[in-house]
Structures are given as C-alpha cells and as structure tokens.
Amino acid sequence: MAAQSDTIPEKTSYVVRFAGDSGDGIQLQGQQFTVASALGGHDLATLPDFPAEIRAPTGTRYGVSAFQIQFGGDRITTPGDAPDVLIAFNPAALVVNLAHLQDGATIITDENAFTNQRLKRADLDSNPLEDGSLDRFTVHPVPISDLTQAAVKPHGLGTKDSLRCKNFWALGLMLWLFDQPREATRQWINIKFAKDEQVKNANLAALDAGHAYGETMELSHQVVQHPTPEAALSDVEYRTLTGAEALSLGLVAAGELADVGLMFCSYPITPASSVLHHLAGLEDAGVSTFQAEDEIAAVCAAIGASYGGKLGVTSSSGPGIALKTEALGLAVATELPLVVLNVQRAGPSTGMPTKTEQSDLYQAVYGRNGDTPLPVVAARSPADCFDAAIEAVRIALRHMTPVMLLSDGYIANASELWALPDFEAYSAIEHHQPDPDASGAVFERDPDNHARVWAYPGHPGFVHRVGGIEKDLATGNISYDPDNHQAMTDLRQAKVRSVANFIPDQTVDQGTAHGLAVVAWGSTYGTVTQAVREALDEGLSVGHVHIRHINPLPENLGALLAGYDRVLVPELNTGQLATVLRDKLLLDVVQLNKVSGQPLTVSEVKAQILALAPNNLREASNE
Amino acid sequence: MSELTFKDFETDQEVRWCPGCGDYSILKAVQRTLAANGAKRENTVFVSGIGCSSRLPYYVDTYGFHTIHGRAPAIATGVKLANPEADVWVITGDGDGLSIGGNHLMHALRRNVDLNILLFNNEIYGLTKGQSSPTSRIGTTSPSTPHGSFDSPVHPGLLALGAGAGFIARGVDIDQKGLPPILTAANDYEGAAFVEILQNCIVYNKDVFDDVVNKKQAAETQIHVAHGEPLIYGKERNKGLRLNPAALTLESVLIGEGGVSESDLLVHDETNPTIAHLLLHMSAPLPTAMGVIHRLNRPAFDQSFWHHKPTERRAKVLDLLRHGNMLDRRAS
C-alpha cells in the first residue's frame, strides 16, 4: 500500500473504535484506553458493543466485539456518532463497522488477518484492502500479528499465547497516536499478571512495541501523532466508572446515609449481573449479597429482608422483572421498602441481551395486576447511576414502598469521567424503624409520606401479622370490607402521589423555556445534551427537559411544557414516555423512536430538532 | 416476665378453617410447642405462602407474614438472613410447597437455611376447591381430574432427602402427643428442618390417610422411630423392621417367632441417609415411619452468610468511592 499522508483532522476531541473477535480482548483494550485518557485529563464517554456469545467463532461477523470512545478537551456526553479512527483486528471487524464511518475516516487494521480463510469466514468474496471498497477511507494496514509475535518472542510464549498480546500492542499504538500515558496500563498488567512473569513481560513488551511502532511510523509521515488537549475540569478528584459501578456505589452509599443494612438479592441475567459482581464481597460496607435460585426467589428474599429489618434490593433486566411482578404487588400491599433495579435490554422475550433499549417503561409504570402503583426513577448516564440509586433508596425508605430504578444496557456498560462527589454534603436518608423499646400501632401512617412503621422482628412492642390479602387500614388484619378496600386503594395511590411533594421541580437542563422542548429520560441524556447544544449554537429555540422521576412526574412538568410550542420525545422504544406524557398531562408530542439495539446518535436527534424548532436568527433576520 | 402459655400465642382473629379440619390440631401443636420452648413473640416469625395451611400465621400471636403462592421459603430465607436472631417458621402445603413453590423448597433445603418448614400434606388443593395436587395418589377423582388423576405423585420426604435436607421428620395432625416433640426437634435443628405433617382435609379429601392414622390401628400402621433404638412397633411392641441385605429393603418381622430376636432388628441411625431413604419409602403393608427420620448436622447457610460482619462502614464507603485510577485536580 502506498504511503498516504495523515488525514486525521486536528480536533479537540476524537472518536476511536476498537473492533475484533469477542475473544480478542477488545473490551479490555477499550477500558485501558479509557483510563489512560482520563488520566491524561480528558473528558470522555464510552460505548462497549459486544455480542452475547462469550467466545463466538473467530472471524465471523456476528462474533465481532467493539468498543467506542470519544475523548478530549470538549465537554463530552456521548461516545460519538462516527469514529475518526477504527482499529480492526480482522476482516469481519472491519466490514461490520464500516457503516459507522464517515468518508475520510482512518482505518488501522491487522493485515496479517486478511487471509483467504479469514476473508471467507467474514463472508467476503474479495479482499477489501485490495478491491477498492475502502477508497473513501484512509487505510493503514499494519502487520499487527507479526509485529506482536516479534515483540514478545524473547519471552518464550507459544504462537497462540503470543497472539493474545496483540490487543496490548494495538493499545500501545493508539496511546502513542493520541499521546496518552501508558503508566496506568503498565500498572494494570503488573497487577493482573503478577503470578505469571512470562505473560506479564510479554504484554508489557507488546504495549511498548506498539507505542514504538507509532513513533517509527511518524518518521515515514504516514500517521502523525495527535496530542489531544485537556478538558476544562474542576479542582476536584476524578475517576472513570461504568453505570454498573456507579449504581453499586450508590446503593452502598445509600445504606450508609440511611444507616440501614442492605441485602442485595439477585439472579444472573445480562446486562444486570455486573451490579451483583460489584456488590459481592462488600460486607464491610454494609451490603450482603444473595444469589437466589431464580428471579422470583431473588425479589422474594429481598422482600423478606425488608420485612426482617434490612433494605432489600433486587436487580434484573426486563424478562426477570416480569417474573418478579407478582412479588412487587406483595411489597406494595404490605407497604415494605424495596428497590428494584431494571437494567433494560432489547425485547421482547429474550430479545437481544447485550443490546440496549428503553422499552420497559410501560412495565415499570403500568405493569402489575390490580391498582398497584409504585414510584419509578430513571438514571440518565453512567455516573448519574450513583445519585439515581441514592434517590431510589431515599424514596423507598421515606414512603415504605417498592421503587423501580431504571437503567439500561448502554449506561450499565458505558463509562464516563466522574467528579467525586462531596459525600459529606449528602443528607441522611430518613426511615421509619421504631425505637427498639417503643410500642405502638404498626399501621399508623405518617400524614406526609403515608409510610407505616417499619417494625420488624425483634421489636416486642410491634408484633403483627401482614400479608398479600387486603388488610384492614388500621390493624393489618385480613379485611374484605368494601369501604376498607377503597380506603387502602386510595392510600396506595396517595402514597405514590405524595412522592411528588418531596422531589425537586422539573428544570430545563439546557436551552430555552419556549420554542421546542426535547423531553427525554434515561440514557438518551448525553445524546440529547449534545444535539441541543449544537442546535442552540445554530440559534434555535430549543430546551432540553430530562426527566428523572417518571412516576410520579414532577408537579410542575405540565406547566413547564405549556411554555413550549412543541414537544419532541426521543426514546429507544416505540413511544413509551410519549404515552405516559399523553396519559398524565394530556400533552401532544412528536415522537422520535429507534429500536436498533444501539443508542441514538447526535445527528439523529439534531435532525429532528432542526425540523421542529423555531430558528431565532432566521426569524430575527426576517423581521 | 412469666412464661407464656399456649393460649398466649393465640390471636384475636377468628380461625376460619372448616370445622373438623386437621389444621386446628396442628395450630394447637404449634402453639404448645412455642409455649413449651419458651419462645418469644417478638423473635418468632411465621412465613406462609397461599392455601388453607398458609392462613396459620394470622392465628399465632408472633410476627407473621402471609405471602404469595409458593414463595414462602424464598421470603423466609430473606427474613432469616436479614434478621439472624429470629426463629423463622415456614408454613406450606403440598400444592404451595411442592407444585408452584417446589423450586424454592428444594433450594431452601439444599442451602440449609435455618428454617423450620412445616408442610401440611393433605394430597389435595383445598382453598381452590378440591383439584388434585402433586401428592394426590394416581386415580384421585377431582374437579380437574374427573376420570381420576394419572400423574405419579411426588414423595415429600424423598424429595427433601434428594434435595439434601439435613432434617426430615413426619407427624400426624391429630397426634397432640407426638407432634410437639417433632416440632421442637425441628426448631432445635440449626439448618433447614423439613416436617411433613399428614393433614386431613375434611371437605375435599376426607380420611385419605385413614389407613395410617386411624387410632384403632395406628400402632400397627405407624412406627415411631428414635435414634439409637431398634425399629419396633405394634400394640404389643412385638413387631420390628429387619434389613434384608440381599434385596436392600426393610421387612417386617415378629419378635420371638422364627428365631427373630430384638438384636436382629435394624437400629435407627438418623444420621444415615440410606436408612432415611428406606424408612421414608415404606408404605403398607409396612408401617409408615413417624418422628425424626433423618438428622445430620452440617453448617447452616446463615452462619456462613454472616461470616463477615460490617465494620467501619463509613470509612469503607469513602474508600470505595475513591477506588481505581484517580485524576487529582485539587489545588495542591
């Protein structure tokens, strides 16, 4: 291939996509690049995009695992619509990711992987490196496999093990390309492979060799190093974390703020399991974890824990939440605190377990037998999962109610830079546990939040029976009295409605309070933020209203939205928040829906904004 | 404070089982057991599922949780793990515990959570008006099986043994003398104690156990086993169980006839799962085994679960927040 001049534009932020087989260590490579980028002082957002198979057959299109990151000196809220650089380890990883690239993008690929056999495995009739199909891109074929093997040869690994180091070789090259520090990766390798000197040294050698290759390449003017400017950060400590980590930390922190033990009861399911993994072993932080025999047992054990005096938390994804549904009714009926985490994924049925969607909103808000309302809270970004988890616990304990906490596959796995919060500034979480020596009526309720007394075994003054059969408002005994059922139903409604009295008014996250409102919830936050920012820069009247509290909605939401001419609701479903808004506010909205298993892109949202929002500059010039 | 009597464990709620239901006598045995063992109301919890038996918590003046169909073992597991001081009882039936909730029962037993699980077996669905249950015998005629059921019943004790239960006992609803000691033994066992109670559903499956529990012949149709004692039964205490080593079965023999002496009889070893299997499997013409059939001490799940105790929680939380690679932009 003829030497080409560098075509990566000079920018303040870049988008890089790593792609290879699901066994190539792509996700690890991406995570290490993320840490290096953060330590380099960049803002960032990531998008892991991997198949459900753990080690899919090598070289196949469906087995491709990818990791995308946007990083740099701008304020970054999304992993980026289109990569500036794609690094592809094989033909399949190259071809399935071409759709993400814009003309002129740079591709670095392992030319050793473009054998007839691997081309065939990727369903390719000809070699894209030779057939002209990549002409609109700048392609740098690099013999990554050969160079990795050469680099690790002194450490005596076999061919197979040598090739497993190629992710670090490529990482070294990318770290060089964007002038990112290598130290954290070196440290990680040292710790991870501490027990295997040979593997450790081989990976370190691969990392350095990739880096050195970049420097050499620079001499040939093929690719120039692109030092990336640092972001304007505050004078605090930062770290990166995924949504799953942030959510786990939030739960742990909430237990401390409430001074209540947490019992996290779960059953393995993608993409929710990582929260269980993060919390397991954190007994010292006041959390015990229980892996139940099934989803139903998980929620039931959590309810039992709440009955027993700890805060029960359960987690799952849509199919598992469906199984837990009957038990949620029990928690509502018995007025027990409970947090139910739903890390949403594409449905229906098993759907696409590793692909993201926001399609369980109906399930959360409406999906139970009987009149069984419960509060619903949604996290909007990886780091926001920390505060969303604390908020869910706060509501559950304040009102003695189960709370549905919505996350999704995208924010669970994605990571971003997180400014460490000032934990001392968080207010304590109130709850209704009685004094151990007190006695009284268990079902006397707080007039403001409608919570009953959280009396649990061990309290002699509050011995009582409770259950899923309708209970007497005052005594908790079984009651089939018609007036009592009306009163209990009213109480359950009033309780959830009362949550609105404790949550902050809805604000406009960014932009105008007139013109077009972009009303969104959950993981579309970053995309909508960027799209609205760009639209505002172009002079449009548009405001971003991002809803955390889905049920009940903030009291002022209707009045706030009445100030706009039109409302656009972008969602990764067929229009579920749109339905809720129509239901609760009698509000007509324009929908923007996408259900491809991928997040919305900034350009998709921006195109709709441009089509719907009034343009101040244009209108001003017309006057 | 004076000791509580069984009456102190009665609630003000009217008991709403059918007149003559076996549940009345089980309730009484439970209340007697609590009183006899000096149980404290505030540290005792009854967790039940759905069904006639599962109404029991409303009638015992302790903490009580009437939950949803089949899930009592899972909920009770949560209660026990969250509140290790509590004495947790699970009340379930053959439909609740072995059909819709079979999975939870199996896992509570194999985990060995410290629960006292009382399964009221009446071989029928009562509260839903008489359908055949997973313990109904083949040929049971019911509204859902008008031509007689044809699916094989599950054996509660053998299922418990297969699930790895460390404590398996059996009793009879009306046996006010025999049942409380069994319940006490179950309560004393540190782990999941499984007690099958043969219970008479007077409306939908009346006297289904009559051939075993009828007092006129009970001495001949039941054997009350005791650890370390030879397996003897009969009104005259002249019958015994002998191991047939060739067939690996138990056989009934008459002591003093054909040269059989007491020393030929099998001695009950409650720690031996093979003997438990033989005893559980017995049916007419052999006697039905009652009492503690299997008891093997192994660590209860909740003891391991609480191996780690929270210490210095706030420090640990603050530490976790700063976990990982930090970018420090604080003014130095």
Mean pLDDT is lowest, of A233-237, A300-304, A539-543, B304-308, for B304-308
Rounded CA-CA distance A417/A37 in Å is 10
Instruction: Please give the pLDDT value at position A22.
Output: 86
Give domain status of residue A480, yes or no. no
Chain B neighbours among A 41-70 (CB < 8 Å)? 41
Q: Do B78 and A417 touch (CB under 8 A)?
A: no
Instruction: Please name the residue of chain B whose CA is at the shortest distance from the CA of residue A38.
Output: B327
pLDDT, tens only, B34-80: 999 999 999 999 999 999 999 999 999 999 999 999 999 999 999 99
Give domain status of residue B160, yes or no. yes
Instruction: Please give the pLDDT value at position B310.
Output: 63
Which residues on chain B are in Cβ contact (under 8 Å) with A304?
47, 65, 74-82
Give domain status of residue A73, yes or no. yes
Instruction: Please give the pLDDT value at position A623.
Output: 45
Instruction: Please give the pLDDT value at position A418.
Output: 96
Beta bridge partners of A537: none
Q: Do A307 and B65 touch (CB under 8 A)?
A: yes
Q: Which helix (H) or strand (E) holds B278?
A: helix B273-281
Domain boundary among A373, A400, A425: A425
pTM to 2 decimal places: 0.96
Residues A215 and A267 reside in one and the same domain: no
Give domain status of residue A8, yes or no. no
Give domain status of residue A116, yes or no. yes
Is the predicted pLDDT of residue A11 greater than 50, yes or no?
Answer: yes
Q: What is the CATH number of the domain that holds B128?
A: 3.40.50.970
The whole-number average pLDDT for the span A329-346 is: 98
Q: Tokens 């599922």 — which residue? A: B49
Is the predicted pLDDT of residue A4 greater than 50, yes or no?
Answer: no
- DSSP code at position B12: S
Rounded CA-CA distance B97/B80 in Å is 18
How high is the mean pLDDT of chain B?
95
Mean pLDDT is lowest, of A216-230, A534-548, B218-232, B288-302, for A216-230
The bridge status of strand A138-142 relative to strand B222-225 is: unpaired
Residues A277 and A417 reside in one and the same domain: yes
3-state secondary structure A280-308: CCCHHHCEEEEECCCHHHHHHHHHHHHHH
Instruction: Please give the pLDDT value at position A618.
Output: 58
Domain count, chain A: 3
Rounded CA-CA distance B208/B124 in Å is 10
Give domain status of residue A608, yes or no. yes
Is the predicted pLDDT of residue A552 greater than 70, yes or no?
Answer: yes
Hey, is the C-beta of A38 within 8 angstroms of any chain B C-beta?
A: yes
Would you place residue B331 in the very low, low, confident or very high pLDDT band (cuts 50, 70, 90)? confident
Give domain status of residue A226, yes or no. no
Q: Residue A176: which region, alpha, beta or left (left: phi > 0; alpha: psi -120 to 50)?
A: alpha
* Cβ–Cβ under 8 Å, residues A363 and A321: yes
The whole-number average pLDDT for the span A170-180 is: 95
Q: Name A254's Cβ contacts closer than 8 Å, sequence gap at least 6.
A: A262, A389, A390, A392, A393, A394, A429
Is the predicted pLDDT of residue B117 greater than 60, yes or no?
Answer: yes
Domain count, chain B: 1
3-class state of residue B195 by DSSP:
strand
3-class state of residue B301 by DSSP:
helix
Give domain status of residue B216, yes or no. no
Rounded CA-CA distance B299/B307 in Å is 12
The whole-number average pLDDT for the span A365-382 is: 97
Hey, is the C-beta of B312 within 8 angstroms of any chain A C-beta?
A: yes
At A441, which amino acid appears?
A
pLDDT, tens only, A247-258: 999 999 999 999
Chain A neighbours among B 84-123 (CB < 8 Å)? 85-86, 103-104, 106-107
Interface test with B, best of A236, A257, A293, A326 (most B CBs within 10 A): A293
Domain boundary among A393, A425, A457: A425
Would you place residue A437 in the very low, low, confident or very high pLDDT band (cuts 50, 70, 90)? confident
Residues A285 and A325 reside in one and the same domain: yes
Nearest neighbour of A304 by CB, restricted to B76, B107, B305: B76
Instruction: Please give the pLDDT value at position B312.
Output: 84
* Cβ–Cβ under 8 Å, residues A1 and A129: yes
- DSSP code at position B269: -
* Cβ–Cβ under 8 Å, residues B124 and B80: no
Is the predicted pLDDT of residue A621 greater than 80, yes or no?
Answer: no
Long-range contact set of residues A93-100: C-beta below 8 Å, sequence gap at least 24:
A93/A19, A93/A20, A93/A21, A93/A64, A93/A66, A94/A19, A94/A122, A94/A128, A95/A61, A95/A122, A95/A124, A95/A128, A96/A19, A96/A61, A96/A64, A97/A17, A97/A19, A97/A64, A97/A66, A98/A134, A100/A17, A100/A68
What percentage of chain A carries pLDDT values higher than 70?
Answer: 97
Would you place residue A132 in the very low, low, confident or very high pLDDT band (cuts 50, 70, 90)? very high
Is the predicted pLDDT of residue B92 greater than 60, yes or no?
Answer: yes
Hey, is the C-beta of A221 within 8 angstroms of any chain B C-beta?
A: no
Nearest neighbour of B104 by CB, restricted to A35, A184, A297: A297
Residue B86, min C-alpha distance to chain A (Å):
7
What percentage of chain B carries pLDDT values higher than 90?
Answer: 92
- Please give the interface size between A and B, counted as residue pairs whose CB atoms are below 8 Å apart: 216
Is the predicted pLDDT of residue A1 greater than 50, yes or no?
Answer: no
Is the predicted pLDDT of residue B228 greater than 80, yes or no?
Answer: yes
The whole-number average pLDDT for the span A216-231 is: 78
Instruction: Please give the pLDDT value at position A494.
Output: 98
Is the predicted pLDDT of residue A615 greater than 90, yes or no?
Answer: no
Chain B neighbours among A 407-446 (CB < 8 Å)? 417, 420-421, 423
Nearest neighbour of B58 by CB, restricted to A300, A458, A465: A465
The tokens of A225 are what? Answer: 């190093």
Which residues on chain A are in Cβ contact (under 8 Å) with B127?
none
Give domain status of residue B321, yes or no. no
Residues A259 and A136 reside in one and the same domain: no
Rounded CA-CA distance A473/B320 in Å is 43
Q: What is the ipTM of this complex?
A: 0.97
Q: Which helix (H) or strand (E) holds B225?
A: strand B222-225
Domain boundary among A425, A447, A463: A425
Give domain status of residue B331, yes or no. no
Hey, is the C-beta of B322 within 8 angstroms of any chain A C-beta?
A: yes
What percentage of chain A carries pLDDT values higher than 90?
Answer: 91
pLDDT, tens only, B141-169: 999 999 999 999 999 999 999 999 999 99
At A24, which amino acid appears?
D
Rounded CA-CA distance A549/A399 in Å is 15
Q: What is the CATH number of the domain that holds A332?
A: 3.40.50.970
Residues A204 and A267 reside in one and the same domain: no
At A333, which amino acid appears?
A
Q: Which helix (H) or strand (E) holds B91?
A: strand B87-93
The tokens of A177 are what? Answer: 């390309």
Range of the domain at A68: 13-219
Give domain status of residue A488, yes or no. no
Give domain status of residue A383, yes or no. yes
Range of the domain at B199: 6-208+299-305
Hey, is the C-beta of B77 within 8 angstroms of any chain A C-beta?
A: yes
Is the predicted pLDDT of residue A536 greater than 90, yes or no?
Answer: yes
Burial class (CB in 10 A: 0-12, 13-18, 19+), A42: buried
Q: Do A238 and B327 touch (CB under 8 A)?
A: yes
Is the predicted pLDDT of residue A3 greater than 70, yes or no?
Answer: no
Q: Do A253 and B317 touch (CB under 8 A)?
A: yes
Instruction: Please give the pLDDT value at position A23.
Output: 87
Q: Name A83's Cβ contacts closer than 8 Å, sequence gap at least 6.
A: A15, A16, A17, A68, A97, A100, A101, A105
Question: How large is the C-alpha radius of gyration of chain B?
Answer: 23
pLDDT, tens only, A477-506: 999 999 999 999 999 999 999 999 999 999
